[in-house]
Amino acid sequence: MQIEMDTRRDLIGIGWMLATGLCFVAVNGIVRGLEGALPAPQAAFIRFLFGLAFLMPVLMPALRRGFPARIWALFAMRGALHVVAVVAWFYAMSRITVAEVTAIGFLNPIVVTVGAALFLGEKLAARRVAAIGAALLGALIVLRPGLRPLDPGHLSQIAAALAFGASYLMAKRLSGLVPASVVVAMMSLTVAIGLAPLAWAAWIPPTLAQTGWLGLVALFATLGHYTMTRAFSAAPLTVTQPVTFLQLIWASMLGVFVFHEPLDGWVILGGGLMIGAITYITWREAQKRVATPTPPVSATKA
């Protein structure tokens, strides 16, 4: 009976993660379809304005309660990092293929893993270091520097991956201080504020269609974060993490059949290697949590 229940939860988790992948591929496809018609800061600003509208029920009560100065500083730092990340990502989407953006984006969890070791005091065992090395090799296979000219979009997406990774580290720190929903809502607020002057400086009057498409970007992004949360609550990361590789397959198919981009086997190979490394790191973390017994209540008291 327990095995059947676990299997059912795993299937539910996989289903939610499949939905997550489709949502994020839809986000990539819509932004790619805009083809840089709007400056990257402006497009990102409009997207986050829509996101703010979706998150107002969470944001307003949090703002009324207020936060200590230290929490505000962390929110501001995360907002600044995310501003850099989203502008770089929107720019990359207008320059390189959907599959390349997706594959390079798999660097995010690697950045988080390394950053957690450098700044949060987490240990890096030899196996995790080897997995990180494999992921970086996968990134080199995707980019192939020296074997082909690199577009500014490639460099922009690398910058986006680094900035997103740093932003997620800040989110990890904030999640221990305020509810997760507030972390997401405050990110939308601070990013919208940070993008406002950049968007104003490069503003081009958007068409109604462009505004509508960016509203859909915000909707799919919000849904993607929701379905990801449901996937994580339904099944272990070791079950749901490998499903993210399908995002690369779907992104490649979208690029080939919708945007007539060439199918690059090296991108699939490098992205697959990165996902394999990420999955291994996730599995090792899950094993460590299982192996570490919960201390008794008396042991947690000073």
Between 300 and 133, the higher pLDDT residue: 133
Residue 118 lies in a domain: yes
Residue 295 lies in a domain: no
Continuous H helices in the chain: 2-34, 40-65, 69-93, 98-105, 107-119, 126-143, 152-175, 180-201, 208-234, 237-240, 245-257, 265-291
Name the DSSP class of 32.
H
How far is CA 246 from each of CA 59, 117, 197, 249, 252, rounded to the nearest angstrom?
Answer: 33, 28, 37, 5, 10
Q: Which tokens is 238 given?
A: 């070791």
Residue 220 lies in a domain: yes
Q: Give the model confidence (pLDDT) of 221-239 as tens digits.
A: 888 878 887 887 777 766 7
How confident is the prediction for the chain on average, in pLDDT? Answer: 85
Residue 14 lies in a domain: yes
Residues with Cβ within 8 Å of residue 152, at least 6 apart in sequence: 91, 95
**What's the rounded mean pLDDT across residues 8-12?**
83
* Predicted local distance difference test score (pLDDT) of residue 288: 65
**What's the rounded mean pLDDT across residues 98-112?**
88
Tally of domains in the chain? 1
Neighbour count for residue 149 (Cβ, 10 Å): 7
What sign results for the dihedral spanned by CA atoms 71, 77, 80, 86? negative
The 3-state DSSP class for residue 202 equals coil
Greatest distance between any 2 Cα atoms in the chain? 63
* Predicted local distance difference test score (pLDDT) of residue 141: 92
Residue 266 lies in a domain: yes
* Predicted local distance difference test score (pLDDT) of residue 290: 58
Place of tokens 């498409």: 213
Domain that holds residue 129: 2-289
Q: Which tokens is 84 given?
A: 């850099």
Q: In this model, does residue 20 exceed pLDDT 80?
A: yes
Residue 112 lies in a domain: yes
- Cβ(255)–Cβ(30) below 8 Å: no
Q: Kindly indicate the confidence band of residue 163, based on its pLDDT and cuts at 50, 70 and 90.
A: very high
Residue 294 lies in a domain: no
Ranges 2-6, 100-104, 167-171, most confident:
100-104
How far is CA 252 from each of CA 1, 25, 195, 256, rounded to the nearest angstrom?
Answer: 40, 10, 30, 6
Q: In this model, does residue 294 exceed pLDDT 50?
A: no
Residue 300 lies in a domain: no
Query: What is the distance between the alpha carbons of residues 4 and 119, in angstroms, rounded to a whole number?
Result: 41
